[in-house]
Amino acid sequence: MILYDALLDNIHLALTIFLFIWIYNWAKGNVGSAKLALVTAIVIIFLTFYSFPELVWLLVLLWAFATFGKDVFSKVGLFEK
């Protein structure tokens, strides 16, 4: 059980770092200011990972959809008439 908890802690930390960098880059591109993007990323990560930890998987799904969604839907032809 200790190994399982340690593995989940490491996965949680890796997801935190990965999503923090992703959100920071997104905010920096949309806001234009690096300091404001840093504050935005910190607030989003704090609210998501520490206040509402179950929302982590929603962010993972959002990232997967943003990364792979357009290609999958264009191949499937779901939104074509």
For the chain, give the DSSP string. -HHHHHHHHHHHHHHHHHHHHHHHHHHHHHH--HHHHHHHHHHHHIIIIII-GGGHHHHHHHHHHHHHHHHHHHHHTTT--
On whether the pTM is more than 0.75, the answer is: no
Q: Which residue range forms the structural domain that includes residue 11?
A: 2-67
- Could you tell me the sign of the dihedral formed by the alpha carbons of 17, 22, 26, 32, in that order? positive
55 within some domain: yes
Specify the pLDDT at position 11.
82
**Is 73 among the domain residues?**
no
Q: 16-67 pLDDT, tens per residue?
A: 898 899 899 999 999 888 999 999 999 988 887 778 777 777 777 887 887 8
Task: Give pLDDT, residue 7.
Answer: 85
Residue 53 lies in a domain: yes
| Cβ contact 13:54 at 8 Å | no
